[in-house]
Structure 1
Amino acid sequence: MVVTRRTVIQGIPVVVGIPFVMLDTRQSSGAAAASWPDSSSTGTNGALIAVPGAATSGPGWVWDSVDHYIKVTGAGVTLSNLDSSGSIWVLADKVNISNCRVTCADMYGIYSQANDTTVVNCQVVGPGGAAGAAMSGIVSSNANGFTVRRCEVSGVTNGLFLSGLNAVIEDNYIHDLVSEDVFGDPDAENAPHTDGCQLCGGECDGTVIRHNNIISPAISTSAIIMGAGTNIKVDNNRLRGGSYTLYTWSDRSNSYTNNRLAGGHYGLATSNDDSRKATFTGNVNDDTGAPVGLT
């Protein structure tokens, strides 16, 4: 595997530096559109309360008017039905965020550095383009037991960025991410490192990524990328785009099964080494249905 620019990011090898071609990352006929998460099955529903317009505090949370974000400090609280113009930062354990929308251009949309955070039926809308080039949608930072279900993320560089044990990422729709050529040159020092879902190396053991629809731009790094990790399960996802669509880690305890992949410039799936110890079965090309192996 050729490794050129920005050789290691968070312990993750990145294959870039060779001229890209534009790839088609649109919905394919290889799988029924209705079978994958999309805007109709993810994100928010119903009326939302504008923050800070209509509310500036609630049980366990307060709007920080100086730094322009929601600060959550109450353990075990639930935030629901909020429409925030700034990030949501979770600083207490066992917080639930449900049916909330974040529309902002901050570094993060929803950020947790506490354990057992659950984010369900939420939407993060970044600004896209150059303004979204340094933004991640939903982030866990050394936060164990992080759960994200039925969420929609768009307009950011990294859809999800995970650091913590035993995360569950399920039924999410990640799309319209920032392309790595947003500043004109994907190899420039300030070019973004675009991934649909990124697992921080050595810090994501026990992660489960199941039944997500992740569409990365044609000029990007991956739909899913990870560094070292054990007991990671990537099952029944639709993954499109990237240099390689899926970067795997080959520990024998990991499994990559029943996924549909397409649109990778150099290939659809690659491993960190040649040992190929991880389980890699049932994966097919999303466009043709042909079996997919590691390259």
Structure 2
Amino acid sequence: MRRSLTIFVFLVLAALLGGSLAAGAATPNDTTCRKVVKSTKSPSQADLLKYSACRFDMLDARVAALAPVGNPPAPNPPVPSSEPKPSATPTPTSPPSTTSPGPTGSGDMPTAGSTGVPSGTTLTAYSGPATITTPGTVIDGKRITSCIVVKADDVTIRNSLIQSKGCFFNVLSENGSTGLQLVDVEIDGQGNGSGDSAVNGAGYTCLRCDVHGTIDGFKVGSNVVIQDSYIHDLVGTSDSHNDGIQVLAGKHIKIQHNSILIGLKSATSGILVKADFGAISDLVIERNLLAGGAWTLYAGSEEGNGGDGPATGVTVKNNQFSTRYFSKGGAFGPLTDTLQSYAVAGNVWADGPGKGTAVS
């Protein structure tokens, strides 16, 4: 997460997911932060920004109050991508690789070698529109240097490098669009510290994606699948609160078999679930390799700003938590915000002295 510029994305996300900003501000569950909103019926954008900033400050304070046990090691600094600057001319290339080490002690979990543009693919410069409005559009084998906005159904981007610089979102799936497929795609944010996430919106699938160089990895709405992907080397700034995947509203969400490694002191989580902009339901988080953050996984029991209550229908199963950045997975622990109604089982340590034992 990111205050200032990035707070705006949460307001945008509410609109994308069909939520009402006015309604969200009208029923905040925190009276202290509510005081900054002068009118709950028609709050100004400035008031909404103040309200969101207040909520994030309170979350930060809550996390800071949780003293870590022992002295966990400092996380490794992010390693910039070695990918050269994009060229406007067609270029035969293999997918770029970062110098950050891949997952260890994790079996068949996704790495740079198993995600992104398949080896041997020839990339040519993308010359199509940045805003896609034609249903069924297919983009294959391209080097894309623009910020992509999808406003059509059943769009496919595959075997491609999205290396767009200065984007707030590198890919935005707008509300109402469905069926966006990102397959064997690398999204390189090129260290953009003033943007937000690599992918944002609803109605999309990311399969074997390699995501790095952005503040957050994914913003997730309804009907989203993130699978077999590698999220790593995000960008930390003085006021960023990075998340690999962030779910603030939505239903029918699957986060399965991904490596999410967030080695930043500024990171909040590998996966953050919190109903800030609407109800969350039917969420599956399973078979992921997770490391870093304050808590590595926030499972969504906290009620959001709109008073929508905890997430429902949550499954957190068979995930592996790594000690590669902190001895407790995250600075304060591996997993928090669960409820008895959630299906939580089979989660283990991927490495460290407790390798193979249950995470509680």
Superposition TM-score, scaled by structure 2 size: 0.64
Aligned runs of 1:137-286 on 2, under 5 Å?
137-140=198-201, 143-144=202-203, 146-163=204-221, 165-179=222-236, 182-183=237-238, 191-200=239-248, 203-219=249-265, 220-228=267-275, 229-250=280-301, 251=311, 253-262=313-322, 263-271=329-337, 275-286=339-350
Give the one of 6, 31, 45 matched to 2:106. Answer: 31
Pair 1:136 & 2:193 matched? no
Displaced runs of 4+ in structure 1, greater than 6 A? none
Pair 1:49 & 2:124 matched? yes
Q: Which has the larger radius of gyration?
A: 2
Q: Say how many residue pairs are matched.
A: 251
SS of corresponding position for 2:298: strand
Deviations 1:84-105 (A, max 9, x none): 1121111111111111211122
Q: Measure the CA separation in 2 of the matches of 1:154 and 1:124.
A: 7
TM-align CA RMSD: 2.4
Give the one of 74, 84, 97 matched to 1:22. Answer: 74
Deviations 1:8-41 (A, max 9, x none): 45xx955544699613696565323xx1111111
Q: Measure the CA separation in 2 of the matches of 1:138 and 1:227.
A: 18
Deviations 1:225-278 (A, max 9, x none): 011311111010001100000000244521100001133001100016xx4320
Residue 290 (structure 1) shift? 2.1
Q: Could you tell me whether the CA contact under 8 Å between 2:103 and 2:111 is conserved in 1?
A: no
Pair 1:110 & 2:166 matched? no
Q: Could you tell me whether the CA contact under 8 Å between 1:139 and 1:162 is conserved in 2?
A: yes
Q: Could you tell me whether the CA contact under 8 Å between 1:88 and 1:110 is conserved in 2?
A: yes
The AA in structure 2 aligned to 1:264 is G
The AA in structure 1 aligned to 2:179 is D
Residue 126 (structure 1) shift? 1.2
Structure 2 gaps, min length 5 = 1-51, 78-100, 302-310, 323-328
Bigger mean CA offset, 85-94 vs 22-31: 22-31
SS of corresponding position for 1:206: strand
Residue 139 (structure 1) shift? 1.5
Structure 1 gaps, min length 5 = 63-69, 184-190
Q: Could you tell me whether the CA contact under 8 Å between 1:160 and 1:196 is conserved in 2?
A: yes
> In 2 relative to 1, CA 159–29 (structure 1 residues): closer, same or farther, beyond 3 Å?
closer
Bigger mean CA offset, 105-114 vs 149-158: 105-114
Q: Measure the CA separation in 1 of the matches of 2:103 and 2:227.
A: 21
> In 2 relative to 1, CA 8–279 (structure 1 residues): closer, same or farther, beyond 3 Å?
farther
Q: Could you tell me whether the CA contact under 8 Å between 2:242 and 2:269 is conserved in 1?
A: yes
Q: Measure the CA separation in 2 of the matches of 1:234 and 1:259.
A: 8
Q: Could you tell me whether the CA contact under 8 Å between 1:76 and 1:93 is conserved in 2?
A: yes
Q: Which has the higher helix share?
A: 2
The AA in structure 2 aligned to 1:173 is Y
Q: Could you tell me whether the CA contact under 8 Å between 1:126 and 1:135 is conserved in 2?
A: no
| Corresponding residue for residue 82 of structure 1 | 142
Q: Measure the CA separation in 2 of the matches of 1:209 and 1:225.
A: 12
Q: Percent identity?
A: 29
Q: Measure the CA separation in 1 of the matches of 2:312 and 2:147.
A: 38
Give the one of 113, 121, 132 matched to 1:40. Answer: 113
